[in-house]
Amino acid sequence: MLLRTFVMIILTLMILPVLIIIPLSLSSSMAFEFPPPSYSLKWYENFLENDQWTDGFIRSIIVAFFTSIIAMAIGTMASLAMDRLEFPGKKIFMNLMIAPMVIPLVIVGIAMYHSFSFYKMTNTLTALVLAHSIIAIPIVVITVSAKLKGLDRNLELAALSLGSNPIGVFFKITLPLIRSSVVAGALFAFITSLDEVVVSIFVSGATTKTLPVVMWENMRTQVDPTIAAVSTLLIVCTFIVMIAQAVVTRRMGEKKQAEL
């Protein structure tokens, strides 16, 4: 009981500064004041009426969507390779797969900029999707690998002994068993892409700014509660994705128990 109380206090202290953004986004004041003198939706209206904000938001959603798909596919295949295969340089391969999570994002951003500049891909959505995918793949790898460690290999061996090929075993046996972790990895990749700003600054251009980049540039020139409104929208999107992940995982777990 004491440990649970302590954990709740720590979580409250961590989340409270983030939640303060919500009332600030509803403030009628031209500056940040807490508590707000009165409440208004004008900063949300300002967000919706500003093409720079709305275009950045839509662009971020598009990039995050394709990033989650690419990261899910490559991360799942990499996890299977690391768990199922033995090949020379396996440890090096594993370290390379999680390297983008360990290396500082500034260094990753500089490397991305030079690579995409060579192929004249900067200031394109393709470059943003590829850059965000490289950052998100380690998250999928870790999530799926943890599920594969507890998977019963006898089910796959039984399917192979009954005449199924490896591809059929993956889609009919392995994938249904690890589906919850694959979905969770994809959703975490979506959140990672949606909030990414450092690498996006290096890769994006005047016509491909994502919402975090627009927020960063506006903070350098002017600060008004519109940024709080945008931050609130990002918080809401993140919570929706997290709730969706929890619901999907729970339903898949219930379905698996029902089948057993």
Whole-number pLDDT of residue 9? 83
Whole-number pLDDT of residue 137? 92
* HSE of 37, CA atoms in CB hemisphere, 13 A: 6
How many Å apart are CA 58 and CA 165, to the nearest integer? Answer: 42
Q: Is residue 29 part of a domain?
A: no
Number of independent structural domains in the chain: 1
- Spatial CA neighbour of 83 closest among 157, 173, 145, 167: 145
Please name the helix (run of DSSP H) or strand (run of DSSP E) that holds residue 93, with its range, or none. Answer: helix 90-102
pLDDT band of residue 8 (cuts 50, 70, 90) is confident
Whole-number pLDDT of residue 232? 84
How many Å apart are CA 30 and CA 210, to the nearest integer? Answer: 25
How many Å apart are CA 105 and CA 138, to the nearest integer? Answer: 14
More confident residue, 258 or 49: 49
Model pLDDT for residues 22-48, shown as the tens digit of each residue: 877 777 777 777 777 777 788 888 888
Which residue type does 187 have?
L
Model pLDDT for residues 193-217, shown as the tens digit of each residue: 988 889 999 998 888 888 888 888 8
Whole-number pLDDT of residue 260? 52
Q: Is residue 83 part of a domain?
A: yes
Q: Is residue 198 part of a domain?
A: yes
pLDDT band of residue 132 (cuts 50, 70, 90) is very high
Tell me the CA end-to-end span of the chain in Å, nearest whole number.
Answer: 34
Model pLDDT for residues 145-182, shown as the tens digit of each residue: 888 887 777 777 788 777 778 788 888 888 888 888 88
pLDDT band of residue 254 (cuts 50, 70, 90) is low
Full residue range of the structural domain in which residue 246 is found: 59-259
Q: Is residue 39 part of a domain?
A: no
Which residues, in sequence order, are bridge partners of residue 27? 39
Using the structure block, give the residue that is written with the tokens 């393709």: 126
More confident residue, 137 or 242: 137
Q: For the domain that residue 206 is a member of, what is the CATH number?
A: 1.10.3720.10
Q: Quick one: what percent of the chain has pLDDT higher than 90? A: 14
Q: Is residue 35 part of a domain?
A: no
